């Protein structure tokens, strides 16, 4: 069985801004490449799990999201890091109804566990919202492996 690092995107990989879907609006958080390299060197797969309700809201298209995702994963590759897969939820309950993939649902994590034969007890999740950590709990990731990341914000 394999181990993995699960990362939320907005607020962990990139600086939190409303509805980031264009390359020119994407700003990597400080230290994200070093963090991922540490886990890659320790034999972890790296997965991104991200709610993207802007798709359901009609603020941007799935194509817009995928274009940005391709660019983002290329930037990781340029830094010697492979993002194994990006899982995303394009839903929002007010627009598309309930789904199991929207965090705090565990759907994206459980899909990765199944597809990549992951040992959830060896997985780590880093998120910036309670719903991220709750998704990890709901998928069976140990509490000690759930980490809250809060970027520095001027208003705090």
Catalytic residue positions, numbered = 8, 10
What are 28's two structure tokens?
A: 């990597």
**For residue 50, which of 83, 87, 18, 19 has the smallest C-alpha distance?**
87
Pick from 32, 47, 14: which is nearest to 141 by CA? 47
The two tokens of residue 132 are: 């991220």
Write the burial class of residue 149 (CB in 10 Å: 0-12 exposed, 13-18 middle, 19+ buried): middle
Q: 134-145: string of b/e by CB count within 10 Å (b at 16+)? A: bbbebbebeeeb
């Amino acid at each position: 069985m394999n181990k993995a690092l699960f990362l939320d995107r907005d607020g962990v990989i990139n600086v939190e801004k409303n509805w980031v879907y264009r390359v020119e609006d994407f700003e990597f958080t400080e230290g994200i490449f070093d963090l991922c390299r540490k886990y890659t060197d320790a034999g972890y797969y790296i997965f991104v799990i991200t709610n993207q309700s802007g798709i359901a809201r009609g603020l941007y298209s799935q194509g817009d999201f995928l274009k940005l995702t391709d660019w983002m994963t290329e930037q990781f590759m340029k830094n010697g890091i492979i993002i194994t897969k990006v899982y995303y939820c394009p839903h929002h309950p007010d627009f598309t109804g309930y789904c199991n993939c929207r965090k705090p649902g565990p759907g994206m994590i459980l899909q990765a566990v199944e597809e990549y034969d992951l040992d959830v007890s060896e997985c780590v999740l880093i998120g910036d919202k309670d719903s991220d950590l709750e998704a990890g709990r709901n998928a069976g990731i140990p509490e000690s492996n759930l980490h809250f990341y809060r970027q520095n914000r001027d208003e705090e």
